[in-house]
Amino acid sequence: MFSYYIFNVLLLCAVSIFATKTVEGSQPILQKTIEALFSDRTHEIYPGACKLIKASKRQTKMCDRDSGLANVLTIAKEQAIAACEETFNYDRWNCSLVFNRKAKRSIFNKLYRETAFIHALMAASITHSVAKACASGDLSSCSCPGNFGKNNTWKMAGCGDDFRHGKRMTKNFLDFKHAGNDQIAEALKQDVIVGVDSIAEQLKECDTCVEEVDQYTCK
């Protein structure tokens, strides 16, 4: 479950950026990906292995290497939007794509406080979904090892929530290293870090694990 604890962290820690900077020119993959995931409320399937977005070459290679990644991204997108809409249902901004209910004022045209929150939220959701997919065995690229089952057969049956892999895959998929070094880029990268770190705090609370059918699941 995408805990509401995450929202407490994000609301307290996400960088507050008011509409003082206009987003102009070409955007790095980080910004394009976050905007695409949050903005597309349809179930359109795009060409390529990632399916959910018009992926870059780097992202396409990642989805090609692990066929489960496309589904993980779908889960991340849906849980982030659903949790956001439920949390802010009665607020001035209810996670819509416009700012202050003005149709021509996109939430991504300028860097509002809400834009910063969206970047932190989506990064948190991707990290969370990857970690959970590792635990369920739905991703083959996880760093956690497999184990030997009956008759010494090797099994990749999942493992504990793999936060490290979730963090690494989130940053790689968003092409964090090439997100830019200007004021806008640095602010949004900080929001991504806040989102990822919020998942680390949540998973620390899940420290009692039991072994069930060759898997470790957290209570």
Token code pair at residue 28? 């790095």
Strands 147-148 and 102-106: unpaired
Question: pLDDT tens string for the chain (219 positions)?
Answer: 565 555 555 555 555 454 455 555 457 899 999 999 998 888 888 888 998 899 999 999 999 999 999 999 999 999 999 888 888 888 888 888 876 666 556 778 777 788 888 999 999 999 999 999 998 889 988 866 554 344 444 344 455 668 889 999 999 999 999 888 888 888 889 889 988 988 877 766 554 443 343 444 444
- Reported as type and span, the H/E element at residue 31 is helix 29-39
Selection from 172, 176, 158, 163 nearest residue 213 by Cα: 158
Selection from 13, 197, 14 nearest residue 116 by Cα: 14
List, in sequence order, every residue forming a beta bridge with 148; answer none if it has no partner: 154
